[in-house]
Every structure is written in C-alpha cells, then in structure tokens.
Chains A and B, each alone.
Chain A
Amino acid sequence: MSAPPPTGARALILRLRSGDEVARLITLTFASTILLVTAGLVYELWSTSSLSRHKFGLGFLTSSSWDPVTGQFGALPFIYGTVVTSAIALIIAVPVGLGAAIFLAELAPARLSSAFTFFIELLAAVPSVIYGVLAMFTLVPLMRDYVDPFLKKTLGFLPIFSGTIFGYGYLTAGAILAIMTLPFIISISREALLEVPVEQREAALALGATRWESTWQAVVPWARLGIFGSVFLALARALGETMAVTMVIGNDPAIHASLFSPGYAIAAILANEFTEATGDIYLQSLICLGLVLFLLTIVINALARLLIIATTRRGSAHP
C-alpha cells in the first residue's frame, strides 16, 4: 500500500526540501540574468535613440555624413570601418593563430608548449590602451615607413593599396586588432586540439599518413568547433575594441577605398564624442550607433553560426 503522491504546495515543499530544486531555482535565476541584461540593453538603446531613429529612419544606416554642426548623422562610414578593420584582423590572425596553436599542441615538446601558453595568456590580459600606445609608437612608424610602401610598390595596382600613406588608417588598426586577438585564437584553439583523442592521431598514422597529414586531416577537423569558437571570440573583441582602434585608425568619418587611408569605427566614435555631445539629436545618434554595433554583432555572429552548421553537415562524423 503506497500513499498517494503529494500534490500542490506540499509537493513543492517536499521538492524544495530535497535541495535539488533549490539549486535548480538558484542557477536558473543566475542564468536568466543574462537574458535580462541583454533585453535591458536592447530596450535602453532602443528607447533612448528614438529621436534619431525617427528623424533619420533606415537612412541612418546608409548615410555617410556625420556633421554635428548641422545635425546630420549617418552610420555608414563607421559600419564600414568596423567591418573592414575586423576583417583585416581575422585575415591576419586566423592563419597565424591556428598555425601557432597546431605547433604548440601537436609538434612542440610539452615543456615548451606550457611556457608559451603562459605568455599567451599574459598577452590576453594586457589592457587595450597599452596595445594602443604600443601601436602609436611602434606599429604606426613601422607601417608608414616599411609595410605600407612595400604593399604600395608590389600591389599598388589594387585600389586598396594605393593613395597617400599616413601610417594611421584601416590597415594599421586591423594589424593591431590582429595582434590583440591572436592570444585568444591561439589559446582556445590549442585547448581544442589537445582535446582530440590520441586514437584519432594513431589511426591516421597507422593508415600511413605523415605527421602533417594526420594533423591537418584527422586532428584539426575534429577540433573544428573549438577553433571556430576561438575565432568568434576574436571577432567579438575586434568588433567592440575601442581604445587601441581609436588611437591608430585616424578617426576620419568617411569611406575610403584605400586601406592606407584614415577611417573610423563605431566603438571609436562613441569613445571620442560621447562625453562632449551636446544637443539631443547628437547624443541620440551616438546611442543609435551603439544599437547598430549591437545589431552588427548579432548579425555577424548569426552568419558565423550558420557557417558552422553548414560545414558540420558536410564534414566528418564529429559533431
């Protein structure tokens, strides 16, 4: 003979007493703060930019004038600068970072690998303003006197490598972003590669693969998700990076074809103009730019996720 299962409030009390339910509720609360913060952020950005949204509408995204004197505001040069500098950063940082991670995880002796890892994690913790100063005093002259003239001489027929060289501009900003995102890519990719079971490598080697073939065809595809994750994190940092970018991008709100030209990024103009912005439409247009950056991050992240899904379906057995 068994008692009927308790119902209603009694049941709740019983479950609470067991402890599991308490833990579940507490962790649920903590997890939901993330949603709450995100929703609050969107609401705040949306509501405090209403004046600018109503006045400019979708034209805000396609207009390239930014004139606080006449009150004309458009986001296009900033979107362009943010996307271009982040793209340059990834084009440089992904191959280098992945190569370094493969060396550290697969080829380097364990001692060397852990010593390297220590330094990489140290680099990841350096504040961005330090990178900015480093960029202003070393990277800018280096780009102006050596890298940019070399690119202009060899690839100058391309519009992106032509025009006047200042040392400040998209390319330099992209380069410092590459340096800043590199530690993330190396560190996380290395972890992902180390997670790959030894059997995976042994199987490839047993089939007659060389060391490199085993790494490239058996290990890297297995660790693909982790590597993608590291790239996303790097991208997120590049899109939102403020201080280092504003110190070397040249801060010119216009779109230039040449990567040597000065440009602007969304986070950079927010840092530059927010404190002294007077007038409602000016301030709200800056907040609207914040909203644009938020949406841009979501769109790019969504595209990246689609990319993963697409490649996973086509790819090997690993999830």
Chain B
Amino acid sequence: MKKSSFWLGALGVLAILLAVAEAKVLINAAGATFPYPIYGKWFDEFTKADPDAQINYQSIGSGGGIRQFTEGTVDFGASDMPMTDEQISKFKNHPLHFPTVLGGIVPTYNIPGVTQELKFTPEALAGIYLGKINKWNDPELTKANPGVKLPNNEIVVVHRSDGSGTSFVFTDYLSKVSPEWKSKVGSSTSVSWPVGLGGKGNEGVAGIVKQTPYSIGYVELIYVLQNKLAYGSLRNAAGTYLKADLESVTEAAAAAAKNMPADFRVSITNQPGKKAYPIATFTWLLIPSKIDDPAKKKAIVAFLHWMLKDGQKDAGSLGYAPLPKEVVAKEEKQIALIQ
C-alpha cells in the first residue's frame, strides 16, 4: 500500500517535470563576464514575465562566447568587444550586434601622502603606460594637478594579466589618444605591455594597487563603485576633466549615436561632447540574423524588446550605465532584421 502510493507520487512528479520541460523553450547563451550580474538578473526576470522561455547563460568570457556562438553550440553569444570582420566571415548569415548596457574604465592609484583626487590628461595616461612617464612628479602630472604635492617616486604600473574586454577598451582609448601607443602596442584583449605588473581580474589589479605604494591601475567603474575605491578624473576630447559616473558614461554613447554604424560595431572611446566620459564601452549580445526554430526566435525577439524597455531600468542599480534613448530606438529597428 505504502509502496504503491510512493510510486504513484513519483510518477506524478515525473509527469509534472515532463510537462514543464515540454512547455519551456530552453535557450542557451554564453560569453562575457563583465555584464554577467545584470544578464543573470535579466534572464531571471524575463522568465518570470514570460514563463515559457528560459535562458541559460554561461559567463565564460567574450572569447569563449564568440567561439561557442561561431560553432553553433549556443543560441546566442555575448561579448565585450565587437566581432571582427574575419570572425563574421565564418557565418553564413551575418550575426547581429545588440548593445545592452555600458561600462566605463577609471584610473585608480595609491600614492601615500596624497589625499586629493588626481586629474589625468590623455598624454599622462599614455605616457605612464608606455613607461615614458615614470615618476609621480613628472611635469605632465604636476601641470594638471596644481596644489597637489606629488612625490618624486617611481610609478608602479599595473594592468590586467587576463585577457579582458576591459583591457581592450583601455588600449583602444590609448591608441586613439597616442599615435605612439597605436604603432608600438595597439589594442586587444591582451597586449604586449611595455611596462608594469599584471593582476588577474579587476580584483587583482585593485588588490595590487591597494597594496603597492606609488602604483596606478585601471579598473571598471562598476568595480570601484561597489568597492568604494578612490579614482581619478580624466580630460575628455572636449578638454573638460570628468570623473566617471553612470551619466557621463551614457553620455559617451549618446555622443557616438549620431555617427553610429548600422551594425553597432563601434568603439565609443574618446567621443566629442563636454559631458562624455572618454573611456566607455558597450557590451553586446551577438544574435544570429536567422533563427530556424520559431519558438526560440519568438523568445529571443521578445527578450530583446523587453531588455530595451524594462531591462534598462535595472541597469543603474547594478552599477551599469543604461543605453541612451537614441541607441535604444536604433536597436528596436534592428530587431526586425531577425528572420
């Protein structure tokens, strides 16, 4: 008696599980780690709003995301840098780039005895990372920081050791402001750094800077906001010193919106505009332009609409800069291209 009721119960559970599995569209995605906190929240909330669709996201890194997307093992990818023409050429149908949120990158430093907030010119930042400016009291730095007593100590330069979208954006910015950087080093997720120590992840760079006197590093804005670290301001293309915050990062995308290419593969560093923070970036979802499974297509399209409208409201509270409305409007049009 007892035994049979147990089996009956088990059968019931199985039936429910099967029914649930049948009703749900399971979508797999993989890619960038930087937007993972907000993607996790979005996919969770989207499933609540639309119980028929479930999106699984593996944050394995942009490179891995592009690879899995190219091999077709996931339904869509995510990346902190746009795909190159060479990567796109491997696709039969041109994949679409959808910017989701924005991030900024800030210089953080540790100079014993200096409590004021430092200002950096693009030339100073490039010079430091090229190894040409190697003392804190270099004229390029003292000129921009009148009233701050900068010490005669060697600068310990810190960069990311792991391949990362953060490094890509930072080196992309340095390439734009310094011809020497562009010809000697260039921009990529990892580069051959002329000087400095490498730390793994934002926490690695911030950890080294925190512990090493007279050091400087670059980390994501979201990381310094969450951990309440001090960071410097940067002179933008219009000549104003700006301290990064969510508005100034969104402003960088708004400034770039006018000349944005139709496929959204664009760098938005060093944009014109008084209020545009110079080291900002999109992070993208990589969506196939042709989705064969109609259920999946419906769910992905629904998610994109939801992300551009409701999803954007979550960005600020998690430390991501939301998309400017100009970009949202352009993306809405691109959704129609999905076949």
Q: Compute how far the CA of A69 lies from the CA of B183 in the bound complex, rounded to whole angstroms.
A: 11
B86 cross-chain contacts in A, Cβ below 8 A: 279
Q: How far apart are A211's CB and chain B's nearest CB, in angstroms?
A: 46
Q: How far apart are B27's CB and chain A's nearest CB, in angstroms?
A: 22
Q: Compute how far the CA of A312 lies from the CA of B208 in the bound complex, rounded to whole angstroms.
A: 47
Given the interface pairs A272-B162, A272-B163, the reply to whether A252 lies near B198 with Cβ below 8 Å is yes
Q: How far apart are B318's CB and chain A's nearest CB, in angstroms?
A: 22
Taking CB atoms and an 8 Å cut-off, the chain B residues in 185-205 that contact chain A are 185-193, 196-200, 204
B200 with A246: CB separation less than 8 A: yes
B200 with A251: CB separation less than 8 A: yes
Contact of A69 among B33, B162, B192, B208 (CB under 8 A): B192
A70 with B186: CB separation less than 8 A: yes
Q: Compute how far the CA of A252 lies from the CA of B196 in the bound complex, rounded to whole angstroms.
A: 7
B281 cross-chain contacts in A, Cβ below 8 A: none
Q: How many chain B residues touch the partner (CB < 8 A)?
A: 37
A252 with B197: CB separation less than 8 A: yes
Q: How many chain A residues touch the partner (CB < 8 A)?
A: 34
Q: Tell me what chain B mostly uses at the interface: helix, strand, loop, or mixed.
A: loop
B61 and chain A: residue at smallest CB distance: A275
Query: Is B64 part of the binding interface, using a Cβ–Cβ cutoff of 8 Å?
Result: yes
B156 with A166: CB separation less than 8 A: yes
A272 with B200: CB separation less than 8 A: yes
B161 cross-chain contacts in A, Cβ below 8 A: 246, 251, 268, 272
B63 with A277: CB separation less than 8 A: yes
A168 cross-chain contacts in B, Cβ below 8 A: 197, 208, 212
B163 with A166: CB separation less than 8 A: no
B199 with A251: CB separation less than 8 A: yes
Type the 1/0 row for A123-144, where 1 means its CB is closer than 8 Å to any CB of B: 0000000000000110011001
B198 with A251: CB separation less than 8 A: yes
B167 and chain A: residue at smallest CB distance: A276
Taking CB atoms and an 8 Å cut-off, the chain A residues in 255-298 that contact chain B are 262, 264, 268, 271-279, 283
A272 cross-chain contacts in B, Cβ below 8 A: 161-163, 190, 198, 200
Q: How far apart are B58's CB and chain A's nearest CB, in angstroms?
A: 11
B83 and chain A: residue at smallest CB distance: A278
- Which of A38-46, A60-68, A178-186 lies on the face that meets chain B? A60-68
B156 cross-chain contacts in A, Cβ below 8 A: 166
B197 with A69: CB separation less than 8 A: no
Q: Compute how far the CA of A166 lies from the CA of B195 in the bound complex, rounded to whole angstroms.
A: 13
Query: Is B28 part of the binding interface, using a Cβ–Cβ cutoff of 8 Å?
Result: no
B163 with A277: CB separation less than 8 A: yes
Q: How far apart are A281's CB and chain B's nearest CB, in angstroms?
A: 11
B64 and chain A: residue at smallest CB distance: A275
A275 with B186: CB separation less than 8 A: no
Chain B residues in the interface with A (C-beta under 8 A): 33, 60-64, 66-67, 84, 86-87, 154, 156, 161-165, 185-193, 196-200, 204, 207-208, 211-212
19 A-B pairs with CB atoms under 8 Å apart are A67-B192, A68-B190, A69-B191, A69-B192, A136-B208, A247-B204, A250-B198, A251-B199, A252-B196, A262-B197, A271-B200, A272-B162, A272-B163, A273-B162, A275-B61, A276-B165, A277-B63, A278-B84, A278-B87
